[in-house]
Amino acid sequence: MTDKASESHESRDDGNPRYELEAEGFLSELDEQYYLNGAGLQEKLELSPIYKKYRHLFSRGVVEDLLGGRETKAGRYLAHFAAFQYLGGSAGALTEQIAEAETAAVVEWDGRSVPYRQAWVLVGGEADRARRLELHERILAVLERQNQRRLARLEQLHGEAKSLGFGDYVRFCDDLTGFNLDRLAAEMTVLLAETKACWQEELARALEDKGVPSGEADVADLRHVLVAPEFDSRFPKAQLIPSLTQTLAGLGIDMATQPNLHLDIEERPLKSPRAFCSPIRVPGDVRLVIMPQGGQDDYSTLFHEAGHAQHFVNTDASAPFPYRCLGDNSVTESYAFVFNLVLQSRDWAEYVSGIDWCPEYARFSRFRQLHYLRRYAAKLCYERELHASEALGSDLSGRYAEVLGGALGVRIAPAAYLSDVDDGFYCACYLRGWMLEVHLRRALVDRFGRRWFASSEAGDFLKGLWALGQELTAEELAQRLGYSGLDADLLIADLIAPPEA
C-alpha cells in the first residue's frame, strides 16, 4: 500500500528544498519543547528562542512570496503554514502575556488559592449545584480580567490578515485552508436543526439525573453532567494500555516493534494528566505520552492521541514536507476520532479484555458526541461573525452567549466570548474530522465487517491511507473511499440513530 501512496503524490517541482528543510526543523524543535514540557521533563516551555532562530522563515517578504505560489496544493499548504506563523509571530508578545497571566491566576476557593486551570476541572467534579455555580462565577471573574489583552491580540491578527491582502480574517482562513466556511456553516446550521430534538431529550434526561431543574441549567451544570464518574469503574487503569495494545494488535500493528513510536507512560510529578501526541519528526520520531489514570475520559483521550500517532508513524517518509507535516488537519483528526469512537462500540468492548460495556454507557457516549458536535457547530457560526466583525465589543459577547446558548440549551456566560475561540478556525478541522470519521468507519465496516479492528487487512487498508500523510484533503479522502465528497448528512444520520442496546 505504501508503494501506491508514493506513486500518487501530485507531481510538483522540487519546491523550495531549503525552506522546507528549515521549516521542518522549526516544527520539530517546537514539538520537542511541547513534549519536554508536557511530559514533565522540563518545567518551562521555551518557545521564544525557537521563534527567534527561525524568524527569517516568516518575514513579510517570504510570506508574500509563498502566498503568491498557492495555486498548487503543496504551495497552498506552505503558504497556509507561513502566513499563520507570520500572524502568530506578530501577536507573540500578547499571546505570551495571556499564557503567563493564566498560569499565574488563582481562584480563591475553600480557603485556598486554586490555580485557574485546575479550578475549571473542579467545576465539572462539584456535585453540589450551589457551590458549582459559585465556583464558576469566580472563574469567570478571573477570565474577564484577561479580555482586554485577548481583544488586543485578536485585533492584531485581524489587522495583519487584512494587511496581507485579504478582505478579513475569515477570508484569510477560508482561502488558505480551502474549507469553504460558508458551505460548512450552512451544513452545520442544518445539523443543529436536525439534531435539536434528540439533544433536548437527552439533555433533559441527563440534567434530571443530576437534580438540575429544567430550564435553569447553566453551562457549569453541563460540564458536571459530562464528567459522568459512574462509568469510570468500567474503564480500569490496569486495562488502559493493554486495551490499546490489543486493539492495534488486532489490526496487525505491534506498538512494541514500531521503532519510530515512543510510548511514554512513566509517572512524573510535572507530567500532563491528559494524554498527548508529539510528532517531533514525521514519521521518524513520534511520542505518545500518557500518565495512566483510568476512567472513560482517560481512555477516550489516549485512543484519540493513538490515532494521531499511528497516522504519523505510518506516513511515507519519502513524501514531500508539505504532505508529511502540513495540509488539512481534518484528516488527522478523523483518524484520531476513528480510534476515539471505537470505545462506544459494543463489538469492541466484547473484543478487548477487561472492559465492561453497558447500554447506558452507549447512550451517554452518544450524548457527549452530540454535545461536541453541537458546541463546535455553534462555535463555527459564532466565530464567523466574530472574525468578520469590525468592532469586537459587547455585541459579540452577547452573540456568543446567544449562539452557544441556543445550540446547547443552557445558560452561557458572555465573558468567555474571546477565550473560547481557537485561532484559524480549528473548530472547522474538528467538524470536518467528525464528518470524515463516519465515512471512514462505514468504509471499514463495509469492507471488513463490524469487527474491523480485529482484521489485519483493515490495518493494511488504514496504513495505506496513513502513508499519504495529509496530501489529500478531507473531501479527496472521502472520494478515495468511494463517496462523492464529504457528506454532512452521514454524520447527522449517525448522530440521531438510536444508541446500541
Residue 302 binds to Zn ion (criterion: CB under 5 A): no
Q: Are 31 and 69 in contact (CB under 8 A)?
A: no
Cell of 88: 502568530
Q: Are 66 and 75 in contact (CB under 8 A)?
A: yes
The candidate with the shortest Cα–Cα distance to 359, out of 234, 250, 242, 240, is 234
CB of 338 vs Zn ion, minimal distance in Å: 11
Would you say 244 or 336 has its CB closer to Zn ion?
A: 336
Give the residue ranges of DSSP H helices in 314-358: 321-325, 329-342, 346-351
CB of 141 vs Zn ion, minimal distance in Å: 31
Would you say 251 or 336 has its CB closer to Zn ion?
A: 336
Taking contact as CB under 5 A, which single stretch among the options 279-287, 328-336, 339-347, 370-378 is the one that binds Zn ion?
328-336
CB of 314 vs Zn ion, minimal distance in Å: 16
Instruction: Lay out the site mask for Zn ion across 171-210 (x = CB under 5 A, - = otherwise).
Output: ----------------------------------------
Cell of 485: 465528497
Taking contact as CB under 5 A, which single stretch among the options 242-250, 267-275, 330-338, 444-452 is the one that binds Zn ion?
330-338
Taking contact as CB under 5 A, which single stretch among the options 98-106, 336-344, 402-410, 470-478 is the one that binds Zn ion?
336-344
Upstream peptide bond of 242 is cis (omega within 30 degrees of 0): no
Beta strands 285-289; 261-264: pairing state: parallel
Residue 336 binds to Zn ion (criterion: CB under 5 A): yes
Cα separation, 94 vs 73, in Å, equals 32
Taking contact as CB under 5 A, which single stretch among the options 16-24, 194-202, 284-292, 334-342 is the one that binds Zn ion?
334-342
Taking contact as CB under 5 A, which single stretch among the options 1-9, 214-222, 277-285, 333-341 is the one that binds Zn ion?
333-341
CB of 361 vs Zn ion, minimal distance in Å: 22
The candidate with the shortest Cα–Cα distance to 12, out of 283, 320, 315, is 320
- Give the total of residues touching Zn ion (CB under 5 A): 1
Q: Are 280 and 214 in contact (CB under 8 A)?
A: no
Taking contact as CB under 5 A, which single stretch among the options 2-10, 332-340, 368-376, 461-469 is the one that binds Zn ion?
332-340
Would you say 146 or 369 has its CB closer to Zn ion?
A: 369
CB of 203 vs Zn ion, minimal distance in Å: 25
Cα separation, 179 vs 329, in Å, equals 11
CB of 147 vs Zn ion, minimal distance in Å: 27
Residue in this structure with the C-alpha cell 505510518, named with its chain if needed: 314
Q: 330-346 burial by CB neighbour count: b if 16+ within 10 A, else e? A: bbbbbbbbbbbbbbbbb
CB of 412 vs Zn ion, minimal distance in Å: 24
- The contacts found for 252-258 with CB under 8 angstroms, 24 or more apart, are 252/456, 252/459, 252/460, 253/310, 253/459, 258/313
Q: Are 421 and 384 in contact (CB under 8 A)?
A: no
Would you say 83 or 277 has its CB closer to Zn ion?
A: 277
CB of 386 vs Zn ion, minimal distance in Å: 23
Would you say 336 or 465 has its CB closer to Zn ion?
A: 336
Reduced to 3 states (helix: H, G, I; strand: E, B; else coil), residue 285 is: strand
Fill in the amino acid letter for 321: F
Reduced to 3 states (helix: H, G, I; strand: E, B; else coil), residue 107 is: strand
Q: Using alpha carbons only, what angle is made at residue 199 by residues 491 and 204, rounded to the nearest 5 degrees?
A: 160
CB of 213 vs Zn ion, minimal distance in Å: 35
Taking contact as CB under 5 A, which single stretch among the options 134-142, 263-271, 329-337, 401-409 is the one that binds Zn ion?
329-337
Residue 289 binds to Zn ion (criterion: CB under 5 A): no
Cα separation, 113 vs 68, in Å, equals 51
CB of 419 vs Zn ion, minimal distance in Å: 20
Measured from each CB, the residue nearest to Zn ion is 336
Would you say 286 or 336 has its CB closer to Zn ion?
A: 336
Q: Are 153 and 419 in contact (CB under 8 A)?
A: no
Would you say 206 or 326 has its CB closer to Zn ion?
A: 326
CB of 432 vs Zn ion, minimal distance in Å: 12
How far apart, in Å, are the Cα atoms of 65 and each of 11, 81, 94? 21, 13, 27
> What are the residues binding Zn ion (CB under 5 A)?
336
